[in-house]
Chain A
Amino acid sequence: MTRPEPNPALPGEQRARLRQQRVWRAMLVPGLAAVAVLYAVRQGLGGSIYDAQGQVHPTFAIVFSVVVALFALIGAIWHHRAIDEQEERAILWGNTAGFYTVIPSAMIVETLTLARLIEPVSHVTMMLGALAVSVATYLWVRFR
């Protein structure tokens, strides 16, 4: 997978549009392919991801885990080959901010929980909080 060179025969603004499409394609194609695979698996399980007991079907859960990991990896590699250095910088700062948000938060929450001063906090909630910080930082660096 090599990064396509811009066609020097095209006007700059058209090349900029093609480049933007390349970035979006790198995110959307793996995402849509993953959704298509998961939809096919769902159809193969009789049109529902739940089993007779109302739980998520183990087959779907396993396929979901593999598909998300695989297509996220493909999308990440493709996306990082499509973006420029300023976009990459924004992503790195966003990830760094998210990392430094979740680590102290986890330590504080864990200690307060062990001391029974607070109720246990969902890991998903903490992850979403860190994700929000990541996204806000990314957007600030990218578009300020």
Chain B
Amino acid sequence: MHNRVRELRTARGWSQAELAGRIDVSRQAVNAIETGKHDPSLTLAFRIARLFETSIEEIFDDQA
């Protein structure tokens, strides 16, 4: 699934480890999500969306 996690993260100047700590997952999990190798659960997707103060649909797109 295509997503904008990397774009949103780098816009804030955060490292993958910084984002990982903020959403309570490993750095490898952040990398896997950014590269589309892991689709996050609904719970984690909500956590990411809240952190970036946007909606899940604005971050994740299964049509792209």
Q: How large is the interface on A (under 10, 10 to 19, 20 to 34, 35 or more residues)?
A: 20 to 34
Known contacts A89-B38, A144-B37; A84 and B26 CB within 8 A of each other: yes
Q: Which residues of A contact B18 (CB under 8 A)?
A: 11-13, 16
**In the bound complex, what is the Cα–Cα distance between A18 and B14 (angstroms)?**
18
Q: Which residues of A in the span 83-102 have a Cβ within 8 Å of any Cβ on B?
A: 84-87, 89
Interface class of chain A by DSSP: helix
Interface residue count for B (Cβ, 8 Å)? 21
Residue B41 at the A interface, CB < 8 A?
yes
Q: Which residues of B in the span 16-63 have a Cβ within 8 Å of any Cβ on A?
A: 17-22, 24-29, 32-33, 37-38, 40-41, 44
Residue B15 at the A interface, CB < 8 A?
yes
Residue ranges of B at the interface with A (Cβ–Cβ < 8 Å) = 14-15, 17-22, 24-29, 32-33, 37-38, 40-41, 44
